[in-house]
């Protein structure tokens, strides 16, 4: 059993962000992943998984080594330092986050302490996100704007919700289990637009079919 399988035994949901396929040995079809290119095309694509996360681990090896010389793995490609700071800020703005880990780096190879400074910078942006976030925890549906999308090939309507205060979006997960039915799942405006055009994103399709 590989590490991803083991983790799935203890975690309700596991997401990999800024994913680089060439560095991964296991079957990516078994995991929830978001590519680096997706983030560069639209930073908001990483917002839903971050908003659902309570524990966030940032592996510094996801940053290209030219931006973080203290990395243990010397990768020519990866995130830029500004992108790492943006992700840290987004993590801080999550309503549910309880812990944020940044690791690892090799101090002896950290030229001029650049990686240590980058970690401090990321921590600062995480704190800023925590300070600025507008909480939508315990949000009540009646305070949200509802959008109904009827899908031709489905026997129900997908309900989307938007907070006019924060601009955040959710959709209602139509689970059969009464204990967990009708949960609001974070999503993006782009996912709502695609669904409205009868082009349901694979992430939403997977959730509503489970």
* The token pair that represents 112 in the structure block: 């001029």
Residues 95 and 20 in one domain: yes
pLDDT tens by residue, 173-205: 875 554 555 788 889 999 999 999 989 988 888
Indicate the residue among 98, 132, 166 that finishes a domain.
132
Q: Report the mean per-residue pLDDT for the chain.
A: 83
CATH, residue 35 = 3.40.800.10
Residues 118 and 156 in one domain: no
Indicate the residue among 132, 154, 171 that finishes a domain.
132
Residue 83, CB-side half-sphere exposure with 13 Å CA sphere: 22
Residues 44 and 124 in one domain: yes
In the prediction, which pLDDT does 40 show? Answer: 86
Say how many domains are in the chain: 2
The DSSP line for 46-105 is GHHHHHT-SEEEEEGGGB-TTT-TT-SS--SSSB-HHHHHHHHHHHHT-SS--EEEEE--
Residues 27 and 85 in one domain: yes
Confidence tier at 1 by pLDDT (50, 70, 90): very low
Rounded distance between C-alpha atoms, residue 110 and residue 120, angstroms: 14
Residues 46 and 96 in one domain: yes
pLDDT tens by residue, 44-95: 888 988 988 899 999 999 999 999 999 988 888 899 999 999 999 999 988 8
Residues 147 and 94 in one domain: no
Residues 101 and 146 in one domain: no
Residues 172 and 75 in one domain: no
Confidence tier at 25 by pLDDT (50, 70, 90): low
Residues 124 and 20 in one domain: yes
Indicate the residue among 79, 113, 132 that finishes a domain.
132
User: What is the domain range of residue 106?
Assistant: 3-132
């Amino acid at each position: 059993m590989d590490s991803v399988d083991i983790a799935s035994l203890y975690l309700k949901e596991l997401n990999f962000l800024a994913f680089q396929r060439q560095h991964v040995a296991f079957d990516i079809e078994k995991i929830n992943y978001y590519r680096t290119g997706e983030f560069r095309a639209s930073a908001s694509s990483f917002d839903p998984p971050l908003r659902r996360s309570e524990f966030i681990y940032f592996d510094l090896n996801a940053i290209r080594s030219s931006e973080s010389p203290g990395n243990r793995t010397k990768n020519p490609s990866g995130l830029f330092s500004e992108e790492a700071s943006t992700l840290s800020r987004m993590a801080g703005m999550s309503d549910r986050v309880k812990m944020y880990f940044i690791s690892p780096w090799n101090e002896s190879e950290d030229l001029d302490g650049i990686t240590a400074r980058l970690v401090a910078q990321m921590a600062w942006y995480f704190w800023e996100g925590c300070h600025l976030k507008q909480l939508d925890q315990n949000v009540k549906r009646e305070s949200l704007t509802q959008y109904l999308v009827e899908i031709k090939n489905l026997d129900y309507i997908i309900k989307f919700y938007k907070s006019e205060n924060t601009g955040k979006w959710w959709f209602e997960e139509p689970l059969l289990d009464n204990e967990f039915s009708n949960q609001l799942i974070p999503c993006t405006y782009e996912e709502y637009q695609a669904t409205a055009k009868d082009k349901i994103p694979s992430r939403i399709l997977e959730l509503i079919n489970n």
